[in-house]
Amino acid sequence: MKAMGALLTSLALLGCSAKVDPSAIDYDKIEIPVAQLSSDEARARGRTLFKEKCALCHGERADGHGVRSKGLSGKAVNFGSSDWRSNTSAIAVFEVLSEGMRGTSMPAWPTLSEGQKWDLTAYVLSVAGDGP
């Protein structure tokens, strides 16, 4: 019984000290906040965040022409493109924000909360329909 207790304790300790490895997230199983994605408030918050953090590369108008868009590894996406819009999904955007895109200039955003990432997702997905 003592051994069992020790085993359980060490398992619990392991559980507490294990760092969350973002690449271990199963994005297929994440619940998509559908209401937030279509909310004008969420899109407006996302737009503000976008101007702060993303416009440098993706452009103030989200058209891929940020002041730093030249010389990046990969081409900063134009979110106004209906082609892009019809080939992506909320979960794909959320995953890119969480993980970045390896081998390109698109960074991961570990400092953003989940809520902020969904706000940004709501915004970028709306650009092709509603404009920047």
Tell me the closest approach of the beta carbon of residue 119 to ligand HEC, in angstroms. Answer: 10
- Cβ atoms within 10 Å of 85's Cβ, excluding its own: 16
Burial class for 118, CB neighbours closer than 10 Å (0-12, 13-18, 19+): buried
Nearer to ligand HEC, 56 or 91 (CB): 56
Nearest partner of 119 among 71, 63, 59, 52, judged by Cα:
52
Interaction site with ligand HEC (CB under 6 A): 50, 53-54, 56-58, 68, 72, 74-77, 88, 93, 96-97, 101, 104-106, 109, 120, 124
Q: How far is the CB of 132 from ligand HEC (least distance, A)?
A: 13
Q: Identify the residue whose tokens are 């995953």.
A: 95
Nearer to ligand HEC, 7 or 114 (CB): 114
Q: How many C-beta neighbours within 10 Å does residue 87 have?
A: 9
Q: Which is nearer to ligand HEC, 26 or 52 (CB)?
A: 52
Smallest distance from the beta carbon of 3 to ligand HEC, in angstroms?
Answer: 49
